[in-house]
Structure 1
Amino acid sequence: MGHSAAVWDYRAATEITKDWNGADKIVLRSPRGASARVSLHGGQVTSWRNDQGEELLFTSSKAIFKPPKAVRGGIPICFPQFGNCRSLEQHGFARNKIWTIDENPPPLSPNDSHAKSFIDLLLKPSEEDLKCWPHSFEFRLRVSLAADGSLALISRIRNVNGKPFSFSFAYHTYLSVSDISEVRIEGLETLDYLDNLCQKERFTEQGDAITFESEVDRVYLSTPNVVAVLDHERKRTYVIRKDGLPDVVVWNPWEKKSKSMVDFGDDEYKQMLCVDGAVIEKPVTLKPGEEWTGRVELSVVASTLCSEQFDVQRGMVF
């Protein structure tokens, strides 16, 4: 806590411990006291705390911490599909696999590592994976925590197969909120979306910010690279910046569906909201040797007035 960013040892701020199942867990820390935890089970970010130690990601009190079940909360990685539209398991297999630490990853931009604590993870398909999805790939994931406490995830997926393959993808981000009725999303106004509650029928969002009073399960299309989630009660705004992820999933199960999920509390829908950077409507197709990159950065800014507006173009509250 007493270190300045100039002398902070970012490598020493990355610690490897064990999670609830004995799999390696990586703890990232910032000089101001923020932290993030990443499990090798699913390559999943399971915790992101601000400088005051407040948890910013939601995890259900009924989450099942036992493979092959994915943990209900944090940021599961959905690959090679989002949803349940093929013979694969729901949201694909990446979130249920044990990843490895990538000791020698191909270089990223210096901006992706400078003044950040980070970890690089790697997933390759097993023989079992190839039976249900016969495509060879290398999935590299970097999770980093900046000095200001912002959290970034960078996914690089390379086709090492002899033929093209296609996939969909999402960072299934469970944000912790005070009360879903006090939350709004800005940046998705007037956009088209696919409504999963209406057989993926296409609708157009109205001109107002999105608020919540019932179950929502939508995929917004051709979205801007900055979206904001404003929590009025906590006077906090989540700023989501993304690249390579044209779609945004917005999901809250509300009361009825919450009661039907064994790994979710009956009233927990009030304390969470999923807002995911994603590629769903038009899946990515990679030719042999090609690589796709998709990144998301999550940050939090104070919002002092409920009437504030968010400038999506500038990524600022004013």
Structure 2
Amino acid sequence: MHIKIEEDLKQWPHSFEFRLRVSLAIDGDLTLISRVRNINGKPFSFSFAYHTYLSVSDISEVRIEGLETLDYLDNLSKRQLLTEQGDAITFESEMDRTYLRSPKVVAVLDHERKRTYVIGKEGLPDTVVWNPWEKKSKTMADFGDDEYKSMLCVDGAAVERPITLKPGEEWTGRLMLTAVKSSFCFDQLELRSKGF
């Protein structure tokens, strides 16, 4: 074990304290609170992301709301800076994007399950959206060939501007995840559009 720490220090030569608090409420709400304190003698910078793998019915029936018109880094195109054009994010192929300066709340609507994930965040200015799709799934050893169809990552993150801590400083990031019955289901939208 001692050798591994020495190897880690070669890659990250900074001393820090990391604390993670996980809270699961009776109603199923999940809260993650991370704290990083610099116990090093000099400042250091780091990026951070929670990797929240959401279970969805069918990726092609899912949409994300709250990231419309935002700038994002397309991690599949050498981090090219683009602007979201759609009124919601939907999925037809592999996606790996970092939405910059995103709102504190984002919603993932799963129409088939009639469920919405509400993701709230603090201290995490960015949001990463990832699904490997079919081709990449087949190259991942720890990922089933068809598992991309039933999962989605929507991560609270600090990527664009790394967090810098001076000696003794502490950073806190929070992610809150709630699943609620969705009122935005296909059948209800169709009824509303017909005037019922």
With normalisation by structure 2, the TM-score equals: 0.91
Q: For 1:139 and 1:210, how far apart are their aligned partners in 2?
A: 33
Say which SS state the counterpart of residue 260 (structure 1) adopts: coil
Q: Does 1:297 align with 2:182?
A: no
Per the alignment, residue 106 of structure 2 pairs with: 227
Aligned residue number for residue 209 of structure 1: 88
1:128 shift after superposition? 3.2
Contact residue 98 and residue 126 of structure 2 kept, 8 A? yes
SS at match of 1:134: coil
Of Structure 1 and Structure 2, which has the larger fraction of its residues in helix? 2
2:163 is aligned to 284
Give structure 1 stretches of 5+ with no counterpart.
1-96, 98-124, 310-318
Where do 1:128-207 residues align within 5 Å? 128-207=7-86
1:113-128 paired onto structure 2 within 5 Å: 126-128=5-7
Distance 1:267 1:207 in 2: 26
Matched position secondary structure for 1:288: coil
User: What residue in structure 2 maps to residue 92 of structure 1?
Assistant: none
Show the 5 A alignment for 1:1-318: 126-306=5-185
Offset of residue 129 of structure 1: 2.0
Distance in 2 (CA, whole Å) between partners of 1:201 and 1:295 is: 28
Give the superposition deviation at 1:207.
4.1
The aligned length equals 186
- The CA deviation at 1:126 is 3.3
Q: What amino acid is the match of 1:218?
A: R
Q: Which has the higher strand share?
A: 2
Task: Give structure 1 regions of 4+ aligned residues with deviation exceeding 3 angstroms.
Answer: 125-128
- Give structure 2 stretches of 5+ with no counterpart: 190-196
Q: Which string of whole-angstrom CA distances, capped at 9 and with x for unpartnered residues, describes residues 90-140 of structure 1? A: xxxxxxx9xxxxxxxxxxxxxxxxxxxxxxxxxxx9333222210000001
CA RMSD of aligned residues (A): 1.7
What letter matches 1:167 in structure 2? F
Deviations along 1:269-309, one digit per CA (max 9) or x if unpaired, are 10000100000010000000000000001011001442589
- Distance, in Å, in 1 between the alignment partners of 2:141 and 2:27 is 36
Distance in 2, matches of 1:127 and 1:216, equals 36
Aligned equivalents of 2:87, 2:119: Cα separation in 1: 19
Paired with 1:295 and 1:246, the residues of 2 have a C-alpha distance of 11
The amino acid across from 1:273 in the alignment is L
CA contact (8 A) 2:63 2:88 kept: yes
TM-score norm. by structure 1 comes to 0.57
Percent sequence identity is: 78
Q: How far did residue 262 of structure 1 move?
A: 1.3
